[in-house]
Amino acid sequence: MAHKHKKKHKTQAILPPSGTDGGSPAAPLSRKEYEAELKHLHAELVKLQLWVKHTGAKICIVFEGRDGAGKGGVIKAIMERVSPRIFRVVALPPPTEREKSQMFIQRYVTHLPAGGEIIIFDRSWYNRAGVDRVMGFCTEEQSKKFLESVPYVEQSIVESGVILLKYWLEVSEEEQTRRMESRIDDPRKIWKLSPMDLESYARWFDYSRARDAMFEASDTMWAPWFVAFSDDKKRARLNIISHLLSRIPYEDVPREKIKLPKRQKDPDYVEADYARHRVPERF
């Protein structure tokens, strides 16, 4: 299939965020402020969910970034109040031997949204431009070929009717170090410190160069990259959710007012003694 070659965005340097007045970064949000804003955004995400189900829209959201950038936290914030039958998270494990023999992007294509679905990729086909390239899981030539072809693949995805949004979470060296160190003695987070994660941490500038090449090749008019600075996790989550909502033309859909029906009555029913194996009430 022939594609028109559309102009790419000019890649710009990634600069640290500043306050709204152009000075120092804004003060961290309080928990109360954060939860109030998130509650409002959750309500909008539910409206989006109803609209997607009603219209059969197809939405694909890609999250990329360094280890510790906060991708998982953003995704959890999005998923907290929506249906996993409409919103689905795709976080693929390493490829099997069979998948290694396939066209690289093949195993990702099968997870693209059908009508009435929102698919969130927690890392995506851009592994070929990032971890695969930096860690030597592919050759430089394979990574180069991927970057040459991915704009056209994404153009085909968009032309098929998918709303494609791509987010890169940018974390500073200092904040990444703080987050990685916090995982060492935290039993809830130790699974996030695999040998691969540690090796990735050591290769900061290799990843920077890979990121720069990825932006240069794949920041297109039809599928641009949106960068979110994530040293402040709360602000990053709110900013990303607000932004993705602004990029989708969803509307309120007609719904009947909900009223609980009358519950049946049965004076002859006797409660059975079925609770023979109870969960201990330790708390």
CATH class name, domain 31-246: alpha beta
112, amino acid identity:
L
- Domain-by-domain residue ranges, the chain? 31-246
Q: What number of other Cβ atoms are within 10 A of residue 105's Cβ?
A: 15
pLDDT of residue 230: 96
Indicate whether this model's pTM tops 0.85: yes
At residue 192, does pLDDT exceed 50? yes
Strand order in the sheet with 225-229: 87-90, 117-122, 58-65, 162-170, 225-229
pLDDT of residue 3: 45
pLDDT of residue 14: 60
pLDDT of residue 238: 98
Average pLDDT over residues 256-281: 88
Share of the chain above pLDDT 70, in %: 91
pLDDT of residue 11: 45
Average pLDDT over residues 148-159: 97
pLDDT of residue 40: 98
Residues ≥6 apart with Cβ < 8 Å to 78: 45, 87, 120, 241
pLDDT of residue 22: 46
At residue 37, does pLDDT exceed 60? yes
